[in-house]
Chain A
């Protein structure tokens, strides 16, 4: 699978309403998402892997993912792996409790002090992994992520549609999408802006070879039935050429 450059990490937590450890996992995930790394993390509700659409199931194929589970059943890790892609890290609260030599947390609805402590530990572990995955260091002094060296270097500017504020999938995953006309019907291509950006940065100009490689990547995220394959291929070719030309113009 081609590696798409990522600036966000997915956090998936177990819902585990019947165990205090489930509440710990959920609150730890939320602490990362809301407080520790709000700009760098996204989440998805676990049942959407089954109840949702293709965009939801593409979540962990698009984002590197950290699973936070309450118990050894590891529903978040296993479901993500089964329906989307293997998470890069799994935190299991029951195991963490033993590692830390703590008593089991109590209070599904309102955590006790042990539960709150576990939320802190798990969220910090997850946040540190986010930094590692994004290749950044957390500035404790400034309270922000330090920029990556490559961000300040002369890297290609974003192509249209890959800039902040771009369209994202209508599912809950937040994956960037590009809508193209295929046989007079609008089709949502998941992750296409990122795929285009990846090909641009690899210096792959529009050509039949590039198009074949592009289509392989496209199909990883968007299922394309054989009856529209030719039309989809033509639409992607046209869109990529427009990206490429715009980028060339910007470079002067």
Chain B
């Protein structure tokens, strides 16, 4: 059986707004708690510097981007590195669907922000499951 490909999570590295923290929290939730066996976080700062190891990792993996604003740095950095994003999420979309949760705090999210992070993580979990399932089927075919 071929070795399972890791899924790379690319969270926004934003430090100026709560939405950046939400994407980071969601990425940690998926990579450390929910799907640690098949996901890995790659920091955008390495891609900004064109780090060869990080780029190689992207080339050989399926990528899920988690952006924190309309500028979509995570998705753009993946494209800039020549990699293809399989699933793209934006924390703003999660908020638009659940406006009752007003996120606050950057170094430490309030409860609403944590709730949005959990919702985002659930969406990413589902995408991970779908992509790994597809990968398994492709391997069987």
Contacts and interface: CB of A to CB of B under 8 A. Distances in A.
Check if A and B associate.
yes
B103 interface: no
Interface in B83-102: none
Interface in A47-106: 47-52, 73, 75-76, 78-79, 82
A17 B13 contact: yes
A79 B49 contact: yes
Nearest to B25: A109
Contacts of B72: 51
Contacts of B28: 17, 108-109
A76 B14 CA distance: 13
Interface residues of A, number: 33
B44 interface: yes
Nearest to A69: B45
A16 B51 CA distance: 13
A108 B13 CA distance: 14
B83 to A, nearest CB: 14
B76 A18 contact: no
Interface string B48-90: 1101000000000000000000011110110010000000000
Given A30-B15, A31-B107, A75-B48, 16 more contacts: A16-B43, A17-B28, A18-B40, A26-B15, A30-B106, A43-B15, A43-B16, A44-B16, A45-B20, A47-B48, A48-B73, A50-B77, A52-B73, A73-B51, A79-B48, A108-B32
Interface of A: 13-18, 22, 26-27, 29-31, 33-34, 43-52, 73, 75-76, 78-79, 82, 108-109, 172
